[in-house]
Structure 1
Amino acid sequence: MNEVVALVALVLVGVVVPLCLAGVLRGDPLSRLVGLEALAVVATVVLLLLARSAHRGPYVDVALVLSVLSFAGSLVFARFWGREL
């Protein structure tokens, strides 16, 4: 079971992360914000999957902190671009 969870995390990192990075590196500011949020969601899910496969409960806290900080970061990004969004 743990190998399956780790494999799902690996597939997410290998397939979805490059797509999110492409969205962050190209496009208008709104597309970059969407790519950044999608990347944060994928990173949070990957951290949760790895915490589950390693049977490490405290690692879940890292994923939760990442999700809160990514939301705050998207608010700062939106505030920085202001009227362009």
Structure 2
Amino acid sequence: MSIAVPALVILVAAVLPALLTTLRGRPVDRLAGLIVTGPLVTLVLALLASAYGRTSYLDVALILALLSFAGALVFARFFSRTL
């Protein structure tokens, strides 16, 4: 658990700028923020699953990974229609 805390702090620190980019900015920047935020949050949940020994967090992380990929594809498809 000693290595999990610094890794979790680094990942959460990386999620904040990606999340801000997703919430504000041009549509292309939002798409990039969405693509980056999904795997980072998935890694945070996987790290929490290993640190606390709870497999339910790992299940949520895997579902989030699939949904974030699908969400990025849907957003890219929607964005291509507006151009």
Q: Same fold (TM over 0.5)?
A: yes
The equivalent residue for 1:9 is: 8
Contact 1:6 1:49 in 2 (8 A): no
1:57-79 superposed Cα distances (whole Å, 9 cap, x missing partner): 23211100000000111111112
TM-score, scaled to structure 2: 0.84
- After TM superposition, the runs of 4+ consecutive aligned structure 1 residues lying more than 2 A away are 25-28
Indicate the SS of the match to 1:17: helix
Number of residue pairs the alignment of both structures matches: 83
The percentage of aligned residue pairs carrying the same residue is 46
Instruction: Map 1:1-85 to 2 at 5 A.
Output: 2-13=1-12, 15-84=13-82
Is there any run of 5+ residues in structure 1 with no aligned partner, and where? Answer: none
RMSD: 1.7
The aligned amino acid for 2:3 is: V
1:25-64 superposed Cα distances (whole Å, 9 cap, x missing partner): 3332121111011111110000000000011223211100
CA distance in 1, matches of 2:6, 2:51: 10
RCO higher in 1 or 2 (8 Å CA, sep ≥ 6)?
1
